[in-house]
Amino acid sequence: MLPAVVAAASKSSIFQDPLGERRHISDPSGADTREFLCLRGELASAPSFEFALRERTSRLASFRDAYYARIRSVARLSDATLALVSDATPGVRLSDVLEVAERGRVTLDINAALTLTRQLVPAVALLHEHAADIAHGAIGPERLVLTPNARLVIVEHVLGAALEQLRYSHERYWRDLRIPLPRSVGGALPRFDQRADVTQIGVVALSLVLGRRLHEHEYPKVGEVVASAWAISARGGLEPLPPGFRSWLMRALQLDPSRSFSSAVDARIEFEQMIGEGDCLASPQALETFLAQYHACLARPTEPAPTAEASNVPNAPKLVEVQKIAAPSTHAEPQPIDSPVRATVITSTATEIVQEKQTVRTVTTPRRSPRLIAFAVVLIAIVSGAGFAGRRYFVSMAAGPSTGTLVIHTNPDGAQVNVDGQPRGVSPLTLALTPGSHVVELRGDGEARSIPITIAAGAQASQYVELPRAAALVGQLQVRTEPAGAKVIVDGVARGVSPLTVGGLAPGTHAVAFDSEAGSARQEISIEPGVTGSLVVALTSSQNAPVSGWIGVTAPIDVQLFENGRLLGTSQSERIMVSAGKHDIEVVNQPIGYRAVRTVQVAPGKVMPIAIELPKQKIALNAVPWAEVWIDGEKIGDTPIGDRMVSAGPHEVIFRHPDLGEQRHAITVTLAAPARLSVDMRKQ
């Protein structure tokens, strides 16, 4: 799409914020729509701003994920405006959602807020895993889009490097652009790094809990807001913010310097552990319900602002007052209504939802009228019906639930979920299942996973599963010769002169030839999918011997190997080629929180083995009334069992009772905190 098209198009703005205005431009067929972020002139004219934006856009050109809107280019329009061109994302910006919620037209409860946060954190973690020095830099409600199917999409993720060129103070970035940034050491200028992204995630998560964007005076004094924040429950009432989530917020907002998250990868691990411990519930259904209410609210005529009483709970939602029609009285006293359900009262303007134990103000009328009496009769009938419905509700609850709930999250999302051989949807997914044992099968891009699980009536079980990702179709090869400048020929095709990186190589063995005035050589190298190999050849040697070797890794779980932030390969590879010499290899498994550095000396033409032994972590096990316990087929005793040390990673735990049968559970022990598992043997 040419910039000239924009010049001829309508200048109407789809969305505007302190960074600039967005315009949607469609091609003549209407099949493709681009979004142009037309940046404000004072931003684009800053020294190095455009250069940094173009460099970051070019660097992330190959970064693709469903969580991110695709960036197409950086363009200068016909009127010299600097524009960032992206694919248009259908949906609503989170800033618009929060604006409607702040006006009280919809209620964003804690479950929906946590579900949105649970999408945001791993999405940013994907970007941080792409490269250690890459960050979004401007994460906020204005750059988060909620699609019609309740999926969060991050837009404009290349802005950070350019915004850093403005050289503003922390205060000015927040005041002028609404970009929160953590304090730098020694009062230095702000850094748009991964720690800044985590801070911005924390501000978004706090905004979701509050149901509004933060006000200007609330940042950076955000600790006071977190301390006084309350959550809105799924029923619409107030409840204390879950302690685990409050602690996670403090760490994300960099309010605990000794324990703050340095990247979204660290924040993701702690968030999933918090959800897994059961203190918080992130239900996709809650988000879908909220989104449906939001769109229904937009479809209704604008309602007049309701009269509200000031609550004495900080950051609590305001309660709606309802006018009760009564017989004439000179001094009518307020009467409370205590009902097990909320009453829905139809007024002449809109439908209002009345919270429990709400104060009702009595209004006197000068005389009765038939119309007024009829309205009062209808009102009494509605409230009476609500009370009757409430009694039926609580009677049915007394009978006890007949199903349990299974919540499934996978990384990556979108895995096909089969329960007992029947397809039930794709992850993330929440299912109602009959009590008893079930087999859950997860099919992603790689090998399928089967997990046995036991569901108890009225209880909720959660499973978070790391699925193997589909291997990339091609690999790369980094080539270096001593001396440099040799012609490099791969499989008979000239690819340039050394040093260089040859991309687009199919997995398998490739023949690499070198030719220079210093000599010539020929080597074969095996390329693995998605991995960058390395080949170093000394052309001055009479034997033209390679100066490369290999690393072979053995580990009880899959680990990744990095050197200087670059992925070398994984433990699934039999061996990984590296240059001869000393290497500091970082061994990582993100899901369990394992990270260690091993220093190895690789000899030319030799394989240096690295054996990984995972550290141990405590696990506590209990059963009602009691049970014998096996871990990975080894009996360890009878419950209760506390502070048992097991290696980090996945384990199978079996509980057996002579009269109540057997339960099997899969648990992943991480290094972040001791693991806990408790079962009720009476519920099969």
What are 488-509's pLDDT values in tens digits? 898 888 888 888 888 888 888 8
Return the pLDDT at 136. 96
- What value does the mean pLDDT take over residues 294-305? 72
371 pLDDT exceeds 90?
no
Positive or negative torsion for Cα 258, 261, 266, 271: positive
326 pLDDT exceeds 50?
no
* CATH T-level topology, domain 3-87: Phosphorylase Kinase; domain 1 (3.30.200)
**Which of the two residues, 400 and 86, has the higher pLDDT score?**
86
Number of neighbours of residue 496 by Cβ within 10 angstroms: 13
Return the pLDDT at 128. 93
348 pLDDT exceeds 60?
no
Return the pLDDT at 351. 33
Distance CA 76, CA 154 (A): 23
pLDDT digits (tens, 9 = 90+) for 597-618: 999 888 877 888 899 988 999 9
Q: Is there a shared CATH topology between the 404-466 domain and the 616-680 domain?
A: yes
pLDDT digits (tens, 9 = 90+) for 549-568: 788 888 888 888 888 888 88
- What value does the mean pLDDT take over residues 574-600? 86
Which pLDDT band, with edges at 50, 70 and 90, does 187 fall under?
Answer: low
Place of tokens 């959660």: 462
Look at 447-456, 532-541, 604-613, 664-673 and tell me which has the smallest mean pLDDT: 532-541
Most confident range (mean pLDDT) of 103-112, 208-217, 234-243 is 208-217
334 pLDDT exceeds 70?
no
Q: What is the DSSP string of 530-569?
A: T-EEEEEEETTSTT--B-EEEEEEE-SS--EEEETTEEEE
591 pLDDT exceeds 90?
no
* CATH T-level topology, domain 616-680: Immunoglobulin-like (2.60.40)
Written as one letter, the residue type at 415 is A
Return the pLDDT at 481. 81
Most confident range (mean pLDDT) of 81-85, 381-385, 508-512 is 81-85
- Which CATH code, of 3.40.47.10, 2.60.40.10, 2.40.170.20, 3.40.190.150, is assigned to 404-466? 2.60.40.10
- What value does the mean pLDDT take over residues 156-178? 94
Return the pLDDT at 38. 95
pTM above 0.85, yes or no: no
313 pLDDT exceeds 80?
no
Return the pLDDT at 395. 39
Q: How far lies 471's CA from each of 131, 528, 531, 569, in Å?
A: 18, 9, 10, 12
Domain 92-288 in this protein, CATH class:
mainly alpha
pLDDT digits (tens, 9 = 90+) for 565-581: 888 888 877 778 777 78
Distance CA 440, CA 429 (A): 12
Return the pLDDT at 84. 95
> At 521, phi and psi to the nearest 5?
-160, 165
Residue 526 CA, distance from chain mean position:
36
Q: What are the boundaries of each domain within the chain?
A: 3-87, 92-288, 321-398, 404-466, 475-611, 616-680
Most confident range (mean pLDDT) of 145-159, 252-266, 406-420, 593-607 is 145-159
